Amino acid sequence: MAIGFEIPLWVRPVLAAPELLAVQSSIGLHSHGLDTLAANLAPGSLGPKSFDGHGRDSRGGNGRSGDGASELYAPVKQQTYWQAKRDAVIELTKPNITKMVVLTSGVGFVLAIFGSAANWWAIAVSAFGCILGTSLSASGANALNQWWERKRDRLMHRTATRPLPSLRLHSGTGFLVGMACSVFGVGVLLVLCGVAAAVVSASTILIYVLIYTPMKTRSPLATLVGAVPGALPPLIGWSAGSVLAGATGFAPLMQWGGWSLFALMFMWQIPHFLAIAWMYKDDYARGGHAVLPVFDPTGKATAWTVVIGAVLLIPTVLLPMFAMSDRLGFISGAVAGAVTLAFLVACTPMLRETTRATARRAFLGSILQLPVVLMAFVAEVVIRMVV
């Protein structure tokens, strides 16, 4: 495929365009200056105004006075200092992403306990440990990621209002929250779910924070690296559930069922993330992130990668049926195949015209496809266990 330009595999990281750095310097917004300013903000302050890219400011206004009104912002409910800090800490952990991580881990857990002779109390304790440990681990990884990227987040419209770049939390607080959640999450999994689940969780955090995060500014291949920690949570749940089914030590990691879920999650993330990256390619460029769309002005390489990823996802979603033939069969396979084919159809318009609208269609298709596939797996296993 001739695309008329070269996409680098490795680049020299750049924080921002020189003109942006000059403006940042002129108003005293280098990292130490921001941290000092954050520490000196009055209690209850909501930080500086920022915009979400659609002309609206982060407090709900549109930046214009209307009908003769003298106020730029609509009245907002005032928070106490500690309420504001609490909300900022919660936001730092990216609760929506954490929920998805916990969901995929839970799917692995349910599929793994099929045929287990463990009593309901043991299952409940292990399930609680799996949910809590995965949630804390994911929260910690998300917080550490935001701590690492706080300088770049200040330059991007869609991330400038996050707790650290918007000065609602001190950077040191963000680091401590991330470390505490990570350590406690791995510890909970070790105590209640076994060593395999804890090791997978620790590996997820380390790969995400120490390898993927710095690599995002250096190579488009970071997308593939980042798909690894994104695909590991089902293996956490699988490892926890396999202990109830009689596996010990690292034996859960030798079973094909868990790795088939890993493969599904890994392949799903490629078209999902690239659709997002195309939608926000200008923002990623401002932040110095070396994602594929930044080097792909026509969008052809991005579109083909999205579509090829969606094509490869079709056989990948069928892998669990072969790896777990004793608990998954035709029903979940048919649902998974059909919804993934529909996802492919949603991606193909990007080949004709790579625009924000077609990328958004692919993105929406991805966030509909995955839950349906996972719920189909869980439904068939639960029915087989009950009947």
Q: Which residues pair with 67 in a beta bridge?
A: none
pLDDT band at 14 (very low <50, low <70, confident <90, very high): low
Say if residue 28's pLDDT is above 80: no
CB burial string 225-261: b at 16+ within 10 A, e below: bbbbbbbbbbbbbbbbbbbbbebeeeebbebebbbbb
Report the phi/psi class of residue 147: left, alpha or beta, with left for phi > 0 and alpha for psi in -120 to 50. alpha
Say if residue 355's pLDDT is above 90: yes
**What's the mean pLDDT when you consider all of the chain?**
85
Distance of alpha carbon 268 from alpha carbon 373, whole angstroms: 11
Q: What is the pLDDT of residue 387?
A: 75
Say if residue 17's pLDDT is above 60: no
Q: What is the pLDDT of residue 51?
A: 33
pLDDT band at 70 (very low <50, low <70, confident <90, very high): very low
Cβ atoms 323, 377 nearer than 8 A: no
pLDDT band at 75 (very low <50, low <70, confident <90, very high): low
Residue 149 neighbours by CB under 8 Å, 6+ apart: 159, 213, 216, 287
Q: What is the pLDDT of residue 358?
A: 97
Residue (of 344, 341, 338, 343) closest to 376 by Cα position: 338
Say if residue 31's pLDDT is above 50: no
pLDDT, tens only, 274-316: 999 999 999 999 999 999 999 999 999 999 999 999 999 999 9
- The fold for domain 80-254 equals Tetracycline Repressor; domain 2 (1.10.357)
Lowest mean pLDDT among 184-193, 239-248, 370-379: 239-248
Q: What is the pLDDT of residue 36?
A: 37
**What mean pLDDT do residues 242-260 have?**
93
Q: What is the pLDDT of residue 65?
A: 40
Distance of alpha carbon 377 from the chain centroid: 22
Residue (of 95, 89, 97) closest to 163 by Cα position: 89
Q: What is the pLDDT of residue 35?
A: 39
Distance of alpha carbon 93 from alpha carbon 19, whole angstroms: 32
Cβ atoms 260, 320 nearer than 8 A: yes
Residue 213 neighbours by CB under 8 Å, 6+ apart: 145, 148, 149
- Triad 223, 228, 231: Cα angle to 5°: 115
For the whole model, what pTM was predicted?
0.81
Distance of alpha carbon 373 from alpha carbon 337, whole angstroms: 8
Q: What is the pLDDT of residue 247?
A: 87
Q: What is the pLDDT of residue 255?
A: 94
pLDDT band at 232 (very low <50, low <70, confident <90, very high): very high
Cβ atoms 233, 204 nearer than 8 A: yes
Q: What is the pLDDT of residue 76?
A: 57
Say if residue 87's pLDDT is above 50: yes
pLDDT, tens only, 55-68: 344 434 444 444 44
Domains of the chain: which residue ranges? 80-254, 255-387
Distance of alpha carbon 49 from alpha carbon 21, whole angstroms: 19
Distance of alpha carbon 365 from the chain centroid: 16
